[in-house]
């Protein structure tokens, strides 16, 4: 049975080719459909190198909302969704095709192996976390909520796949600069719905939640670092809200010095 591989991209020239090369482990897809949100680097050039059909869609800071467009335009009922910072393995590729051929479900969740700073995470909520990446178009709608963008229709049959051999490989961030860029993007998205909280208290709670409740302590020093980053992220989000709520206009301050 034929299916579509779909992707949403924006300025992904650094890693996109690795994701597309890993598609060699899928044999029966007959469409590679990529929605570009106005990339200014070599993203589109790389996509076309792998015979992708590239469509242009409007940039949306709520990046996940763009998935609705690409899903609707896919020509096949079965779709496999891959991000530019992800790769599939040979065993996962075979599993995907076996599931599609069997056709006894509507949406499939796969485990994910996450890499942080180039290190493989095998602890806490980061392993194994499941995401729906294989589905029938008729089975889902897109919520637009970051990291929770697919809503599975109630009447549909869901399937969970287990085992590291069937895991999607995700390179979450490779260095502190990438972490800062990603976190600032999510802070911008999340701040629209958040109310200001004391950054110190919020940071302590966030660290404790990540280190103890989410079991990052299982990762030793690396888990400790990720818990600190979780704390810093929440503190930055609330500091940003604090100054935004003050509605300081620096231009008015400048004008006073010209009076």
CATH assignment at residue 101 = 3.90.550.10
Q: Is the peptide bond before 201 cis (omega within 30 degrees of 0)?
A: no
Domain shared by 160 and 201, yes or no: no
pLDDT confidence of residue 244: 85
Question: Which residues span the domain enclosing 9?
Answer: 3-172
> What local confidence, expressed as pLDDT, does residue 154 receive?
83
Residue 65, CB-side half-sphere exposure with 13 Å CA sphere? 9
Using the CB atoms, write b or e for 93-108: b if 16+ within 10 Å: bbbbbebbeeeebbbb
CA distance 34 to 52: 7
Answer yes or no: is 233 within a domain: yes
User: What does the block give as tokens for 115?
Assistant: 């890499």
Domain boundary among 150, 172, 194: 172
Give the pLDDT confidence score for residue 34 in this predicted structure.
Answer: 97
Q: Write down the pLDDT at residue 147.
A: 61
Q: pLDDT (tens digit, 9 = 90+) per residue, 177-213?
A: 888 888 887 777 665 566 788 999 999 999 999 999 9
pLDDT recorded at residue 146: 61
SS3 call for 20:
helix
- Asked if residue 185 and residue 135 are part of one domain, the reply reads no
Instruction: Give the number of domains in the chain.
Output: 2
Is residue 158 domain-shared with residue 199, that is, in the same domain?
no
Query: Do 152 and 179 reside in the same domain of the chain?
Result: no
Residue 111: its H or E element:
strand 107-116
- Report how far apart, in Å, the C-alpha atoms of 47 and of each of 18, 25, 32, 53 are: 11, 17, 9, 8
pLDDT tier, 123 (very low <50, low <70, confident <90, very high otherwise): confident
Q: Within this chain, do residues 192 and 205 fall inside the same structural domain, yes or no? A: yes
pLDDT of residue 7: 95
Judged against a pLDDT cut of 80, whether residue 64 lies above it is answered with no
Domain membership flag for residue 25: yes
Asked if the model's pLDDT at residue 93 lies above 70, the reply is yes
pLDDT digit string, tens, across residues 28-40: 999 999 999 999 9
11: left (phi over 0), alpha (psi -120 to 50) or beta: left
Q: 120: part of which helix (H) or strand (E)?
A: strand 119-120
Q: 37, 58 in Cβ contact below 8 A?
A: yes
SS3 107: strand
Q: What per-residue string of b and e applies to 56-84 under the rule 16 or more CB within 10 Å gives b?
A: ebeeeeebbbbbbbbbeebebbbbbbbbb
Name the domain boundary from 121, 151, 172: 172
Helices within 127-219 (DSSP H only): 176-191, 199-208
């Amino acid at each position: 049975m034929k299916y579509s591989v779909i992707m949403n991209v924006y300025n992904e020239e650094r890693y996109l080719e690795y994701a597309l090369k890993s598609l060699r482990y899928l044999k029966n897809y007959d469409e590679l459909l990529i929605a570009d949100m106005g990339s200014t680097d070599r993203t589109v050039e790389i996509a076309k190198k792998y015979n992708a059909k590239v469509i242009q869609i409007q940039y949306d800071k709520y990046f996940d909302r763009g998935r609705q467009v690409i899903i609707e335009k896919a020509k096949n009922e079965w779709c496999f969704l891959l991000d530019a910072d992800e790769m599939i393995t040979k065993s996962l590729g075979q599993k995907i095709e076996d599931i599609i051929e069997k056709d006894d479900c509507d949406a499939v969740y796969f485990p994910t192996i996450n890499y942080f700073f180039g290190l493989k995470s095998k602890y806490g909520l980061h392993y194994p976390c499941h995401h729906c990446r294989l589905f029938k178009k008729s089975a889902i709608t897109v919520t637009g909520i970051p990291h929770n963008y697919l809503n599975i229709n109630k009447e549909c049959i869901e399937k969970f796949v287990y085992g590291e051999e069937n895991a999607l490989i995700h390179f979450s961030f490779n260095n502190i600069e990438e972490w800062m860029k990603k976190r600032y993007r999510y802070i911008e998205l999340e701040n629209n719905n958040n109310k200001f909280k004391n950054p110190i208290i919020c940071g302590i709670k966030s660290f404790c939640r990540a280190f103890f409740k989410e079991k990052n302590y299982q990762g030793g020093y690396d888990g400790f670092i990720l818990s600190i980053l979780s704390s810093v992220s929440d503190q930055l989000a609330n500091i940003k809200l604090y100054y935004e709520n003050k509605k300081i206009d620096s231009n008015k301050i400048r004008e006073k010095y010209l009076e």
